[in-house]
Amino acid sequence: MPTSSAVSRVSPSRRSVVAGAGIALTGSAGILAGATGAFGTQERAADRKDREDGGAGHDGPLGHGPLLPDPDGVLALPAGFTYRVLTHCGVTRLESGEYTPAKHDGTAAFAGPRGRTLLVNNHELKGPRSDWEHPVPLAEGLVYDPAASGGCTVVEVSKDGERIAEWVGIAGTSTNCAGGVTPWGTWLTCEENSDRAGENGMTRDHGYVFEVDPHDRRANRDPRPIKALGRFDHEAVVVDPGRGHMYLTEDDSDPNGLLFRWVPPKGFRHGRGRLRTLADDAGTLQAFRCFDSGGRFVDDLSRAVRPGTVYGVDWVDVPDRDAREVPVRRQFTGDEVTRARKLEGMWWADGGAYVVASYARDMDSPGQPHDGQVWFYDPRHRTLTLKLRFGLNGDPQAPGGFDGPDNITVSPHGGVIIAEDGEGLQHLVGADDRGRTFPIARNEVNIGTEEEPEYGEFTGVCFSADGSTLFACIQEPGIMLAVTGPWRRH
């Protein structure tokens, strides 16, 4: 596998970046090309072939064309697109000499000096350090719990796309899955694990959010959890830049997880380093409660079937945000809060939060089984709208089928891009302003066997500040990629 090379199908030509990313993925049974059987019907063979060929069809140009196999077996891309491998677990090295850690996950891109890009990359490593060949190194002054294996690294990339350096942003945290970008230019990394000190070899409590500053290494010293944001299996977080509220997803089950809102205390002003000054009980942490157009309580988001469904949202205070005796999601009775299976990635855009519910199959949820939902929360109107729904994918190994959306970003070229974490083939999936889905890339790194192929999930999808480069990771075997090409407005 190449560690710093570009595989080209056709010489790439870049187009100017179009500002703004307003999207409305309301969709319908006819145009939700990615929603196999979304409304209990069979997908037309022509629609599936349309996606396999890159999305061109009777509805006009869609996507960037068919995906072409990669002779190096890394990433299938449309003609004219190229990729570069920036980091590779066990191959590339940090400034300190240690290898790049394993299990790449949530990632954010920040504009750096001299046209460079700074990428903060989570490493979803759970349990004691002895369980992993390449944990996040325990860099001096940057360690929360010396027993834990996870954390973040920061990757510096030149304006020409060359990897310059990689260093530790935080270490000694657990299961750093997703997170979120702040309006003041930092990264919030989330622990998707709530082990207490003494459990699984840990020496400190976990299940928190930490702030990492890619621009100022000194600001990351002496890591402190932001306990005001609660202790649970965190997934992602976004910040409302106008109101100061923060929204957080929980990826958990038995019972299913929750969507949270943190309301800052009166007089608090966000900014670099200010979250770590908060008292443990500062502000108010709340869980969402939805109701339909008839005012009826909705117990689980899996109840929604048709894109365009709108729920009203109320917020209920969390009794014990640090979960000293009972996990937060179990502190509510069944009729107090709304739940969802595998609440995953979020992205703030268009005045609200795009929220992913990865899947709900069989007995996972009380509603209709599905292979993924994308919702939009509008804080002004306190509404949650189903924008995109993936029906059950009957043949995950067949090209053209998508399932299990996870990380999400809003594209500067219009629409959203989703990292697939499902069964079978794994894709980066685009969705346009009509709710139509199309492939952008396919993972070709087979970590299984020829007889039983297996492909790691895509993670960490995000764009460079100028919109020219799409960054994404493949969690297994642990690589970060930069993709460039003739992006087209959707």
Is residue 230 a part of any domain in this protein?
Answer: no
pTM, to two decimals = 0.89
Is residue 486 a part of any domain in this protein?
Answer: no
Collapsing DSSP to helix, strand or coil, 251 comes out as: coil
Is residue 216 a part of any domain in this protein?
Answer: yes
State residue 477's pLDDT score: 97
Report the largest interatomic distance among the alpha carbons of the chain, rounded to a whole angstrom. Answer: 61
State residue 35's pLDDT score: 32
How far, in Å, CA of 93 to CA of 100, rounded? 5
- 385 close to 310: Cβ distance less than 8 angstroms: yes
Is residue 113 a part of any domain in this protein?
Answer: yes
State residue 4's pLDDT score: 38
Q: In sequence order, what are the beta bridge partners of 156?
A: 118, 165
Residue labelled with tokens 């063979």: 45
- 108 close to 179: Cβ distance less than 8 angstroms: yes
Is residue 109 a part of any domain in this protein?
Answer: yes
Query: What's the mean pLDDT in 137-146?
Result: 98
How far, in Å, CA of 208 to CA of 194, rounded? 8
> Which pLDDT tens digit goes with each residue over 440-450?
999 999 999 99
Please determine, for residue 27, whether its predicted confidence score (pLDDT) is greater than 50.
no
pLDDT over 90 percentage in the chain: 82
Dig out the tokens for 173 from the structure: 């945290």
Mean residue pLDDT of the chain comes to: 89
Q: How many CB atoms lie within 10 A of CB 70?
A: 18
> Which pLDDT tens digit goes with each residue over 107-141?
999 999 999 999 999 999 999 999 999 999 999 99
Residue predicted with more confidence, 490 or 488: 488
- 219 close to 273: Cβ distance less than 8 angstroms: yes
Total domains in the fold of the chain:
1
Please determine, for residue 321, whether its predicted confidence score (pLDDT) is greater than 60.
yes
Is residue 104 a part of any domain in this protein?
Answer: yes
State residue 282's pLDDT score: 98
Query: What's the mean pLDDT in 204-208?
Result: 98
Query: What's the mean pLDDT in 217-239?
Result: 98
Amino acid at 456: G
Q: How many CB atoms lie within 10 A of CB 310?
A: 15
Q: What are phi and psi of 317, to 5 degrees?
A: -65, 140
Please determine, for residue 86, whether its predicted confidence score (pLDDT) is greater than 70.
yes
Banded model confidence at residue 61, pLDDT cuts 50, 70, 90: low
Q: How far is CA 278 from CA 7, 81, 211, 270, in A?
A: 47, 45, 12, 11
- 329 close to 232: Cβ distance less than 8 angstroms: yes
State residue 169's pLDDT score: 98
Residues of the domain holding 122: 93-225
Give the rounded distance of the alpha carbon of 186 from its chain centre. 16
User: What's the first-to-final CA gap in the chain, in angstroms?
Assistant: 32
Residue labelled with tokens 């890159």: 54
Give the rounded distance of the alpha carbon of 44 from its chain centre. 30
Is residue 192 a part of any domain in this protein?
Answer: yes
State residue 21's pLDDT score: 32
Query: What's the mean pLDDT in 44-52?
Result: 45
Banded model confidence at residue 60, pLDDT cuts 50, 70, 90: low
Query: What's the mean pLDDT in 59-67?
Result: 81
Give the rounded distance of the alpha carbon of 363 from its chain centre. 24
Is residue 124 a part of any domain in this protein?
Answer: yes
Please determine, for residue 34, whether its predicted confidence score (pLDDT) is greater than 50.
no
